[in-house]
Structure 1
Amino acid sequence: MKQVVKDGQTLADVAVQEFGSWEAMIAIAHKNGISMTEIPQAGTELTMPDEVWNRMMQNYCRDNDISPATARDRSGFRLRIFGEEFMETFK
């Protein structure tokens, strides 16, 4: 399975979107021969591993068309993965 990186997404964002867990980023990085800390450019096509990490969160992201993207301020620092509306659902 392939996944195209969206603007503002880190490997952790893609991992949560596709597998429901940031821990999947280790397998994504390994499968694509990149560092876990690398921030792929928007439009990059990544090969996804064939594994499951958190089925409930994975289904939630797919069912609700959630595409996490790490927020950035003017300095480029990452602030958060999800907005307040997501936090209300998963308190």
Structure 2
Amino acid sequence: MKTKVNDNQSLADIAVQVSGSVESSFDIAVKNNQSVTGILTAGQELDKSGIINNKVVDQLAVQKAIPASASKKVIDVQLTGIGYMTIGQNFTIK
């Protein structure tokens, strides 16, 4: 069986949605020749894994909840501190 990826879903989100456990993300990754940390695209179809926790799967279905924790935003972090300072730019010698 296959499942369709929704916007901002990661492999862990898919695993929780279809099997009730994040542990299935490894199985789903292998079945679909994907990286566990790879970026999925909305509309992509993936082979499912077996259900591990029926309660979680049923609860998500009843609430019509779709886990979506992935973000495609790139965060640019400016590192600071003595190891990242350059003389004349952000490090002053007096």
Q: TM-score, normalised by structure 2?
A: 0.71
Post-superposition Cα deviations, 1:10-35, rounded to whole Å, max 9, x if no partner, equal 00011111111111111111111111
Aligned residues: 75
| Gap change, CA 1:73 and 1:32, over 3 Å in 2 | closer
Q: Distance in 1 between matches of 2:41 and 2:6?
A: 8
Counterpart residue type for residue 65 of structure 1: K
The alignment yields a C-alpha RMSD, in angstroms, of 1.8
Q: TM-score, normalised by structure 1?
A: 0.73
| Gap change, CA 1:74 and 1:39, over 3 Å in 2 | closer
Q: Report what 1:65 is aligned to.
A: 64
Runs of 4+ deviating beyond 6 Å: none
What runs of 5+ residues in structure 2 fail to find an aligned partner? Answer: 76-94
| Gap change, CA 1:40 and 1:71, over 3 Å in 2 | closer
1:16 is aligned to 2:16: yes
Task: Say which structure is richer in helix.
Answer: 1
Which protein is bigger by CA-based radius of gyration? Answer: 2
